[in-house]
Chain A
């Protein structure tokens, strides 16, 4: 081809490099600050080279702050929600793919529409529902628990308890996960199942022996997106949790940041980095699924 090596093409390629370098610096600069500040013995608000390198900030997150607790809380609630999402969306996605019933289409449109509802707009009624459920759970637990009442309610309560946060987090991730699984099962031929049916397998056996092994890649994608989105959620733990023992990483970071008179940038940067790393790992795995899920499973 004549045009490919012309000086003009070379100029365009150079322009492409310059553009990409500028955009990349814009994208990376905040991360560079955070990473450097987290290992700086004298971290400041602005970007600078560390005075001296130290892991002191990270150690302090776990030693003087409740970092271990925050991290464990985040991991426990988000992983539980992810597992719930994987199970429920695996079953539901299969049903949505195989059914020919009247409810299939309204349900699919429904979950696409649910994805667009802003969660702040649902927060107040959601809080009231959870409060009612929490009172119900409380009157159930109170006679049984005695003096452990508070500790048990922190586990199974709907407000300021793990259970409530996990269920609400999971529900928020369900629509996308159901969609991913439905599209995934659409691509799994029915032959395998029909063969299993002919062999006299029950539904449970079919799910266990045939569908779960086939569905693993889909479940991985659904789980990754559920994990990322639940891990990044700030609003729900902000509203639903108040006990210090239940705080998660985003709230720990936010609250530490609000102590205006004694802002410790090194410490904050270390918390933020610890919070960021699992998100980046999950995202790097989820990247390949990004295009399909973003368009909600469009064809063509």
Chain B
């Protein structure tokens, strides 16, 4: 049929338009992802004997990885970092800001812009600015503030490194959480609140019984996305602490980087990378499924 032939020709044309996107993604993302699985089964290294003649070592790297306390530590650090900043910190503060901005507030756009500004800061700038807030013992800005308030100060990045790194990442993501949750809040019909007010519901009841349940899908989606994107945070942590002191802030991406580019053990680093890839992919699949994407 002529129509079929036309349709086929059209699809071929469209595929050709997609090729410039398909090729770089295949060569620079898909292939490296598969290649890292292979690499993780070799003893490839940047220096030494293994660099000249990499050998196939099977699951050796994984056995070593799973008995490496530093690897488990990095998983634990990543878990605290993600839960603390993406799930709790950004979400709670972002939600509070979104709720506050729902009221008639003079200068709400100024507040909104201020809260969004950290979002615009590149990771390295964010790390650098927070060095001023936290590093240098009694010289740090936070210490000066604490002293002025008559409170005890500390060498923040040495004494509470993971908490501080988590707080800085929280700082960076409050804005996105606020924007998303504001969109979710404005989707809740006002009639529902009015009806509840007629029935004599207090604000707390309205929040627990109306706002939260109706927002649940938005919140779930937000948490999935922010979890996945927080797992891949690198520059912020690297600029602030480079994983230290003593691995206390070595999130998985910094761990992989240190193994591969500081210790030069490419094969071993790749095994860590594969674990990170599998975890992210699993979360990504959950995300895609829950989106019920219309394609």
Taking A23-B93, A24-B115 as contacts, is the C-beta distance between A121 and B15 under 8 angstroms? no
Q: Does A99 contact B35, Cβ atoms closer than 8 Å?
A: no
Does A62 lie at the interface of the complex (its beta carbon under 8 Å from any beta carbon of B)? no
Q: Does B29 contact A16, Cβ atoms closer than 8 Å?
A: no
Q: Does B21 contact A92, Cβ atoms closer than 8 Å?
A: yes
Q: Does A129 contact B35, Cβ atoms closer than 8 Å?
A: yes
Q: Does B221 contact A295, Cβ atoms closer than 8 Å?
A: yes
Q: Does A117 contact B221, Cβ atoms closer than 8 Å?
A: no
Query: Which of A44-52, A53-61, A139-147 lies at the interface with chain B?
Result: A44-52
Does B166 lie at the interface of the complex (its beta carbon under 8 Å from any beta carbon of A)? no
B29 cross-chain contacts in A, Cβ below 8 A? 114, 117, 122, 171
Does B140 lie at the interface of the complex (its beta carbon under 8 Å from any beta carbon of A)? yes
A24 cross-chain contacts in B, Cβ below 8 A? 111, 114-115
Query: Complex: how many Å from CA A221 to CA B131?
Result: 33
- Residue from A46, A122, A298 in contact with B291 in the complex, judged by beta carbons closer than 8 Å: A298
Q: Does B20 contact A88, Cβ atoms closer than 8 Å?
A: yes
A265 cross-chain contacts in B, Cβ below 8 A? 132
Tell me the B233-256 residues at the A interface (CB within 8 Å). 234-235, 238-239, 252-254, 256
Q: Does A121 contact B128, Cβ atoms closer than 8 Å?
A: no
The residue among A100, A109, A265 with the most chain B CB atoms within 10 A of its own CB is A109
Q: In angstroms, how far is the closest chain B Cβ from the Cβ of A173?
A: 11
Does B197 lie at the interface of the complex (its beta carbon under 8 Å from any beta carbon of A)? yes
Q: Does A121 contact B132, Cβ atoms closer than 8 Å?
A: no
For chain B, the count of residues having a C-beta within 8 Å of the partner chain is 102
Q: Does A108 contact B293, Cβ atoms closer than 8 Å?
A: yes
- Residue from B24, B35, B171, B174 in contact with A170 in the complex, judged by beta carbons closer than 8 Å: B24
Pairs of residues from A and B, 10 with the lowest C-beta to C-beta distance, nearest first: A118-B232, A116-B284, A30-B129, A283-B120, A92-B21, A234-B235, A232-B122, A121-B273, A125-B32, A16-B100
Cross-chain pairs A/B with CB under 8 angstroms, 24 sampled: A20-B111, A20-B115, A27-B114, A30-B129, A45-B131, A92-B18, A101-B15, A107-B22, A109-B293, A113-B288, A117-B280, A121-B256, A122-B33, A124-B39, A125-B31, A129-B35, A174-B24, A235-B234, A254-B124, A279-B125, A280-B117, A294-B225, A295-B221, A298-B221
Chain A residues within 8 Å of B, Cβ to Cβ: 3, 12-13, 15-17, 19-20, 23-24, 26-31, 33-34, 37, 44-47, 87-89, 91-92, 94-96, 98-101, 103-105, 107-126, 128-129, 167-168, 170-171, 174-175, 178, 203, 228, 231-235, 239, 250, 253-254, 257, 265, 268, 272, 275-276, 279-280, 282-284, 287, 290-291, 294-299
With A20-B115, A37-B132 known, 8 other A-B pairs at CB within 8 A are A45-B140, A91-B17, A95-B18, A103-B15, A108-B293, A120-B253, A121-B232, A171-B29
